[in-house]
Structure 1
């Protein structure tokens, strides 16, 4: 899906993390006790903790909670409680920054793939924030790491389709709830070295009065790539699917994909002043930097977010966008992420000087 959009603006952006901070050294120690005893090759693979580019991440629960086997029901209960709290906090902060009230919101786009909530999170949030009873609800599941970009693009399209409307976009992911201690494999070791929990929210509305205009959106999904990234249903919850070939795939495919996404908008790679990427991991950041021939260190902000928070799935790209906007966005910026599908999603942003 590729399209040119009439400008709508991002009025505000808020990011949130849960309060339980885990250092990478503590993550390795915990994983050694939880996974190492059942995985004979753990010590050889444990170098991933030093190479992941992560120093800290924030978790939905204290680390001791993860030391005991958890049922699907227990994980679901934590997801509902913590994800709702992060949703409400991030949404309230985004609305306050935009100078708006919950009653001003016409539509809510919610993106989350790490838990199941029916009724969905925005419906549950109505008990805490006074959204109107006629607010349009658009919950989206299954986008994974690409969800922050794809969800924000969807919010922009809804705002464009109904001129004058205000759209709230919220994404919440609690990746830590997918921790498996039994039957763990290499993907589980990588995930415990890489993933954290977090949320982000944006307010989007037509016009040019925000910090960035959403002027184009595109996606590309590759054929026969369903096994690269995603979830598999298990008796105790969601088990991670994470292919080690992702960095090589990104290095090989991202340049052509980006050129294809930008061309219908009248741009080439060289026209973009700044690419902002979802930092899926240290090797993925390196691969994207190389694929687009960006200068070494061009994605330093991405690496800093990965260092401080880990890969939080969908919200992570918005954490990077938030840091970039505080430092000053470049005039033509492209926000992009890779996610299950296997899909890359991009948003073209026009930013005032």
Structure 2
């Protein structure tokens, strides 16, 4: 049994901010509190990011905000942004909300009870018996892990459709009085966005009518004794970022072996993998992927384009990259293999092996 990603849908909030404007705002906020700030500010210029989207205007960050205010904004904005991504995804697949059997929600940048998937079920009129699984805390790896869990679900229930939704409002985690280097690095990278993917089982997918990547395998790995590499500290001001400079080194040292353990049991070699959709945690992380996997020029174009236009949107980012890599403008060769993957707190890796099915006609319900 396998699973197909029948459609993607993405959405970003209205405030589109050039990277240079964020850099100037940081200079204004931290100039008197961070020694040698001018030595750190070039991270905004050399990170491969041109623009990002935030759910609040740039002026919002210039004054402090309480954790309660951030929470209320998260619930309101995350539900609205996720709804836009879901509507686009379902429209692309030619299905109605009532056709969805399971809603899987991934986020790490805010909390809500009821969880955001419950808000979506009300906004979109999903069936009252649709299953819901909210997953919190996987960070940037959440999109890949969510696809893996959706794959496992529809393998068990091959007639069903699982909707994965990843929504992150990284901007709301910004803490005005945190002058640490980790906060400055995070401020240069992270942004807001939502994405959805409809994963359908073998018996729910109508072959020959729709082009789609097929998930044929997954692999999860956890680095021991690495809890301090990435995550949040919970403070009275909200979620405070934990972000280690060692992440590119871990990628360089370990990624080759992780990919081999994913593809070798299926009789594949490096040369059999033509498409790479890897989460662009940052420019240095992409460079570490290239070095570790011996990738040639252009192999990570989809990741680089997403990073340039949107920054790092945590879990949602990988779905943006997959839409870029497998969209109509850049569909891979029929039957070719691809790898999708992301890293997250734990410290952990989530990888998927894909095979592209070209289909033979446009449209069709999946």
* Alignment-derived partner of residue 167 in structure 1: 162
How far is the alpha carbon of 1:216 from its aligned partner? 0.5
Are the equivalent residues in 2 in contact too, given 1:38–1:183 (CA < 8 A)? no
Are the equivalent residues in 2 in contact too, given 1:220–1:261 (CA < 8 A)? no
Q: Which moved more, 1:208-217 or 1:56-65?
A: 208-217
Q: Deviations over 1:79-108 (max 9, x none)?
A: 101100111111111111111111111100
Q: Which moved more, 1:138-147 or 1:95-104?
A: 95-104
1:347 counterpart = 2:352 = yes
* Alignment-derived partner of residue 14 in structure 1: 9
Are the equivalent residues in 2 in contact too, given 1:38–1:182 (CA < 8 A)? no
Aligned counterparts of 2:31 and 2:118: Cα–Cα separation in 1: 40
* Alignment-derived partner of residue 3 in structure 1: none
Q: Deviations over 1:40-73 (max 9, x none)?
A: 2322111111111111000011111111101001
Aligned counterparts of 1:123 and 1:48: Cα–Cα separation in 2: 39
* Alignment-derived partner of residue 72 in structure 1: 67
1:113 counterpart = 2:116 = no
Name the count of aligned residue pairs.
348
Q: Deviations over 1:11-32 (max 9, x none)?
A: 1101111110111110001111
User: Is the partner of 1:283 in helix, strand or coil?
Assistant: helix
How far is the alpha carbon of 1:325 from its aligned partner? 1.2
* Alignment-derived partner of residue 132 in structure 1: 127
Q: For 1:235-254, list aligned pairs within 5 A.
A: 235-254=236-255
User: Is the partner of 2:198 in helix, strand or coil?
Assistant: strand
Q: Deviations over 1:107-156 (max 9, x none)?
A: 00000000001100110112211111111000000110011111011111
* Alignment-derived partner of residue 303 in structure 2: 302
Aligned counterparts of 2:106 and 2:267: Cα–Cα separation in 1: 29
Structure 1: unaligned runs, 5 residues or longer: 1-5
Moved over 4 A (4+): none
* Alignment-derived partner of residue 284 in structure 1: 285
Aligned counterparts of 1:163 and 1:265: Cα–Cα separation in 2: 21
Aligned counterparts of 1:325 and 1:163: Cα–Cα separation in 2: 23
Tell me which of 188, 191, 196 is aligned to 1:193.
188
Are the equivalent residues in 2 in contact too, given 1:219–1:261 (CA < 8 A)? no
Tell me which of 328, 338, 342 is aligned to 1:337.
342
Aligned counterparts of 1:157 and 1:257: Cα–Cα separation in 2: 20
Q: For 1:308-327, list aligned pairs within 5 A.
A: 308-326=309-327, 327=330
TM normalised by structure 1 equals 0.96
Q: Deviations over 1:277-334 (max 9, x none)?
A: 0011011101101100011332122111101000111111111111111211241011
TM normalised by structure 2 equals 0.92
Are the equivalent residues in 1 in contact too, given 2:226–2:346 (CA < 8 A)? yes
Tell me which of 28, 33, 43 is aligned to 1:33.
28
1:23 counterpart = 2:26 = no
User: Is the partner of 2:264 in helix, strand or coil?
Assistant: helix
Are the equivalent residues in 2 in contact too, given 1:195–1:310 (CA < 8 A)? yes
How far is the alpha carbon of 1:183 from its aligned partner? 3.1
Structure 2: unaligned runs, 5 residues or longer: 359-366
Aligned counterparts of 2:265 and 2:136: Cα–Cα separation in 1: 28
* Alignment-derived partner of residue 52 in structure 1: 47
